[in-house]
Every structure is written in C-alpha cells, then in structure tokens.
Chains A and B, each alone.
Chain A
Amino acid sequence: MDDKRRIRVLAAKPGLDGHDRGIKVIANALMDAGMEVIYTGLRQSPEQIVEAAIQEDVDVIVLSILSGAHDFLFPRIMELLREKGVNDVLVIGGGIIPDEDIPSLKEIGIAEIFGPGTYTDDIVRYIKDNLKR
C-alpha cells in the first residue's frame, strides 16, 4: 500500500436490519486508528454497497448484519464485486452469524467474520495486516 494514502473503509449495513450500534462503534474505532471511514447508513442493497465501494475507491468493506440475512446478502455482495472485477478489496463481516455459517462465507471470499465480543483493536489490527493493496 502507498503509505501516503490513509486506509479507506466502507462501513455498510446491507438489508433491512436497523441494528447499527456495532457498525458505528467499529466506524469510530477505525477512524480513531487513522482510517477514513464512509458509513452507508441503514438499508443498503447489495448493488448500492458495491457501487459505493467502487465510487469511493475503498480498500476495505466492513459488513454488519444482525438479522440473519447474511446467508443471502453476503453472497450477493461478493457476486456483484466479482462481476465488477473488484478483487483487491478486503471484505470482512460481523453481527449475529452462527459459527457453522462461517466456512461457507469464507469460501465465497469474505476474509473474516467477527462475532459479538470482538475487540475493535483486533479488527484494526486485522485490517492493517490483511490489506490487499
């Protein structure tokens, strides 16, 4: 990565879920760690999220879902990213996601899933260590 440029992150809430405590806490923590964070707000469709990621030229997408819709929305977002040829963006997810769902989400390209109780410092470190560009 070019060190003159700050890490740019898209923090996104896909679907209809209104639980935004977690994503806002993480957005604050990433900003405190020196990253630039663009928060989409609630109710974003996969199309809107991918569009925003491209427009904003982000290095990282952080997805949060607590409604159980990750099984549909995460794969859809990854599919759209692939279709658009975006393959150098680090995508991580979090929320209420059963452990048994994690392997299949990793298979489709979500780099890591962070569940309840995760420290924000761990997420900051993970992003810094795993950037793709």
Chain B
Amino acid sequence: MFDGKKIGEIGEGYREWADKLEPKLARRPERKADFINTSGIPIKRVYTPLDVADFDYMRELGLPGEYPFTRGVQPTMYRGRLWTMRQYAGFATAEDTNRRYRFLLEQGQTGLSVAFDLPTQIGYDSDHPLAQGEVGKVGVAIDSLKDMEILFDQIPLDKVSTSMTINAPAAVLLAMYIAVAERQGVSSKQLRGTIQNDVLKEYSARGTYIFPPQPSMRIITDIFSFCSQEVPQWNTISISGYHIREAGSTAVQEVAFTLADGIAYVEAAISAGLDVDEFAPRLSFFFNAHLDFFEEIAKFRAARRLWSKIMQERFKAKDSRSMMMRFHTQTAGCTLTAQQPKNNIVRVAFQALSAVLGGTQSLHTNSMDEAFCLPSEEAVQIALRTQQLIGYESGATETVDPLGGSYYIEELTREILDRAQNYIDKIDELGGAAAAIEKGFIQREIQDSAYRYQREIEKDERVVVGVNRFQVEEESAKDLLRVDPTVRLSQMERLKALRLERDNGRVKAILSELRRAAEGNENLMPLILDAVRAYATLGETCDALRDVFGEYQAVSTIGG
C-alpha cells in the first residue's frame, strides 16, 4: 500500500525509534514480558505500514459487498439498514414466551429468536421420563403444532423474521413454522428466518445431538434441497462458532472449526447432487463476540475473507452470494460474571460494538443477569438498548468497516486467517470435520483451550474484574425469574388432550410412511410437514426417525 521509497523511510524511522526506546525500557519495563491474545498471537508494541507493506488491497480487502467481502457483505452496510436486533428468548410455556416476544417487538426489536427447552431440542415430548426437571427451563416447551400456534399468536409471520435455535429436530420445527404460517394465510415462500440446523457443532461443543453424523447430514441436505424450492428466503443453516467459543476455544479455533463444519455441509450437499449455487446463498453463520475487542473485529473480517476463498477456490461457486458470509453474533455468555453483575452491561456493550465493527448482520446482546438466571424484563431491555445506543448514537454505523486499513486490524485479520487455514488443513488430513469429531480431535482442542484459559485466571495472568481483582462483598441476587415447575404438568395435560382429539390413525399412517422414507433416500421434509399438520408430536416424529437412524454415542475425551 506504500511505495518502496516510503517504506524505506518508515523502516529507518522505526529503527531509530526502537533504538531510543531500548534504554527507557530497561529502566521502566512494560506491564508484561509478553503480550499475547487468546489465539496465542503475539501482539507487537506498535503496528506500522511495515506490517502491511506487502498488502494487496484488492486481493485481500476489496470493496464492501464484493469479493473477498473482508469489508462487509453489503456495499452500504449500516448506512443502508442497521443489523437486525434479535434477542434470544424463550421460557416456560408458549403463552409465556409469546408475551415476551410481543414485549420485545414493542420495545423496537426487529426480529425474533426462539429459545427451546432441552427436551424440545433433543426431540422428547414434555411427558418423556428424561424431560423431568427440564421442561420450560432454558427455553419454551414445544410438543406439537398446537404449542407453535400459541407461540406465534398475533405475530404476523409475513412481517417478522424468526431465528430458531434448533438443530437435531430442525426439520420438525421448521415444518411447524411453515404450518403455522399456512394457518395465518402466509405462503412458505414469504417466510424469512433461520434454523440453526448445525449438528456437527452439537457433537463437538453444544450437546443436543440425536442421530449419528451420517443420517444427520442427510436430514440437513434434505432441508437445503426442500427450502431452495419451497422456502427460498429461509436461512437453512446457521453454522455456529458461538458454542465452540463458549465451550472454551480460542478465536482462531472458532473460525477454523466453524468453517470446517461449513465445508462438511457443502460437501455433503454436493454429494447429494445439489448444485453449489443452488443452496450456498442460504447458508448463514453465527459467531461469538468475546472480550478482546480488536481480536474479535479481526476475527469477523478474517472469517468472511476465508469463507469467500473456500467457496470460490474449493467449491467453484459462481454466484457471488454463495461466497458471501452473512452472520449473526451473540455476545459471549461465558464472560458474564455472577460477581458485580452490573459490570456485565459494560462487557456486553463493547462486545456488541466489536460485532458491529466486524460487520454482523444480526445481533443478540446478553442480559447482565444471565450468569445466574434467566434474564428479567429490565435486564433484557438494557441489553436491547445497548444495541440501539450503538446503532443510533455511537456513530459507528456511519461508514463501512471503519477500522479497515488499521495496521493492527489488517495484520491481525491476516494472522487469524492463516492460523485458521492451518487448522482446516489439519482437519482435512483427518478426513474432514465429522471424522475429526469422531476422533475427538476438535473436542480435545477446545477443552485444552478452556483449561488453559481457566488456569490463566487462577494464576492471575488474566484479570477478570470482580472475580480475581477488584472484588467486593456482595449480597446475593433476589427476585430471580424462575420457571414454574408445574409447566411440565400443564404440557402433559395438553399432550393428553391432543392425543384424544386428533386423528390417531392418520398420525400412525404418516409416521410409518416416514419410517419407510427414512430407510430409503427420498426427501423427508414433505412427510415431516404432513406429520406436523396432522398434529404428530415432536417426540413421535423424532422417535420414528430414531427407529431407523439410531442415536449418536459420544466419544470420551477425558482421561486416558
């Protein structure tokens, strides 16, 4: 970016400066011997044009909305439209959650994000024995289309976009969403939203898997194929680094393991006979916004550049939308402290700002109380206001990629990309993401990083304000939002009533048809949609698939 003569001058100036500094440093050393970020990248004292002297602007950055999308996926970014402000929410019954959604929409939220309870995420109805103690706890309990109708009551599905954090049973919940829309008179072609549908990271980091990898990949590609025809505006997957990071990975590992999962999905869809440009434009991503402000901004930019190169060079995509990495971001839940919880408001604010400076398409900001309970209405409001402050007051939105060209950011972007690429090469050698997970490689890498991070805190090498520094005596939090333990009983009542009033013969016939189809290779989506319309429950539908596909058995990565 600079001519040779100028670089020479800068180099000379830099050397003089460094020489002058030497004796001063001897007298007054810096705070630490080494400055290293979470990814293990050494951070220099200062970055200058010397660090980016060989930088090829058009190849590595380009312009916004153009390959390699380092500067953003849209040409005008937030000058055109702000990101979607989307708070992940759901608890207790569909009625309770529907009230929270309507509150959030009234407060100016621009998209919905559904949190399901664990039984729903693992394909069990609320009356399943393993659902005891879990119904309605970490999200809303959905057993059948009945619950879904209540969840979206008075919410026009042609107007909002909805993201659903659902993976192993994603096909069933998407089918329910389509069926609710039908009842509202909204065509599936008008629906906008996202299903997470990323089962690989369930095996490596999040834990809500049901089926083994192979049939899981088949369901996922069935969804890609079905949606490309029937739900064309839907994001068919949200390939997620968020949980990989929450499980303890570094920023580089987050990029690498997420993109490696992405590669596996693209390969699976191509081997299922789909054309890359038919499904790739609907792939979306989901990242974490962690503490190190600049490392995070560089991470988002590196991920975008690396994905565009993978899509163009490895998969020969032609449509530029196939190369465009669109992503959602959530601030890092694992960085919230139970100690002095109001400090979390500030943590969340700068994490959110890093996501905006990194060019996110949508954002969830955590609530200050989430280190110890479900967020209260007040805490959620502050979290949403944080986004609105960044969007409307901070000025960060007035130009595209405001930190583009920063010597530090550009060097860090390149370093993160290179290190992530090395990991992807290693995963390729192991046979791809699914094989690397089955060998326990990804899990071990994540857990080693998590352990290292914890040891750094305990050895006081990493400061956590309020935890290992600046502690105060505190009273414990009062009046926490709690889920009524009778939610399970009311869901069980509703299930009982449903099984009495629906056409059980029809449900049985569709489910056996589904079993038969699962044994072959036809697309499962149309049958799942039929099952849902006939009020087959989530558990019944997943059980039909369990009968054929079996269940995943995790590999152990602890001990010898």
Contacts and interface: CB of A to CB of B under 8 A. Distances in A.
A15 B454 CA distance: 25
Interface string B204-229: 00111000000000000000000000
B556 A41 contact: yes
Interface string A110-133: 000001110111000000000000
A37 B477 contact: no
A33 B557 CA distance: 18
B447 A117 contact: no
Contact of B371 (A15, A67, A68, A96): A96
A18 B243 CA distance: 10
B430 interface: no
A108 interface: no
Interface string B460-497: 00001001000000001110101101000000000000
B558 interface: yes
Given A69-B137, A121-B458, A16 B559 contact: no
B338 interface: yes
B480 A100 contact: yes
A100 B334 contact: no
Contacts of A37: 558-559
Given A72-B132, A116-B372, A100 B476 contact: yes
Interface in A43-102: 43, 45, 67-73, 76, 96, 98-100
B248 A18 contact: no
Contacts of A115: 338, 372
Given A28-B447, A68-B137, A69-B137, A16 B119 contact: yes
A18 B133 contact: no
A43 B454 contact: no
B458 A120 contact: yes
A39 B338 contact: no
A72 B558 contact: no
Contacts, number: 121
User: Chain A: interface residue count, which band?
Assistant: 35 or more
A11 B558 CA distance: 10
Given A39-B556, A39-B558, A71 B133 contact: yes
Interface string B531-560: 000000000000000000000001011110
B147 interface: no
Contacts of A17: 118, 134, 138, 207
Contacts of A15: 118, 130, 133-134
A45 B129 CA distance: 9
A25 B454 contact: yes
Contacts of B483: 68
A37 B25 CA distance: 47
B122 A21 contact: no
B339 interface: yes
Contacts of B482: 98
Interface string B119-154: 101101000011111100110000000000000000
A106 interface: no
Nearest to A119: B458
B337 interface: yes
B558 A69 contact: no
B338 to A, nearest CB: 5
Contact of B485 (A20, A71, A100, A119): A71
Interface string B333-353: 010011100000000000000
A6 interface: no
A116 B131 CA distance: 25
Nearest to A37: B559
Given A99-B476, A117-B464, A18 B206 contact: yes
B558 A18 contact: no
B485 A39 contact: no
B247 interface: yes
B389 interface: no
Contacts of A27: 558-559
Nearest to A97: B372
Given A28-B451, A69-B137, A117 B339 contact: yes
B198 interface: no
A16 B247 contact: no
B362 to A, nearest CB: 23
Nearest to B121: A16
B7 interface: no
A16 B371 contact: no
A117 B338 contact: yes
Contact of B480 (A67, A76, A98, A116): A98
A18 B202 contact: yes
Interface centre among B119, B207, B457, B477 (most CB of A within 10 A): B207
Nearest to A28: B451
Interface in A1-51: 11, 15-21, 24-25, 27-29, 31, 37-39, 41-43, 45
**For the complex of A and B, 4 pairs with smallest distance between CB atoms:** A18-B207, A72-B133, A99-B476, A69-B133
9 contacts: A16-B121, A19-B207, A21-B447, A43-B130, A96-B372, A99-B372, A116-B338, A116-B371, A120-B458
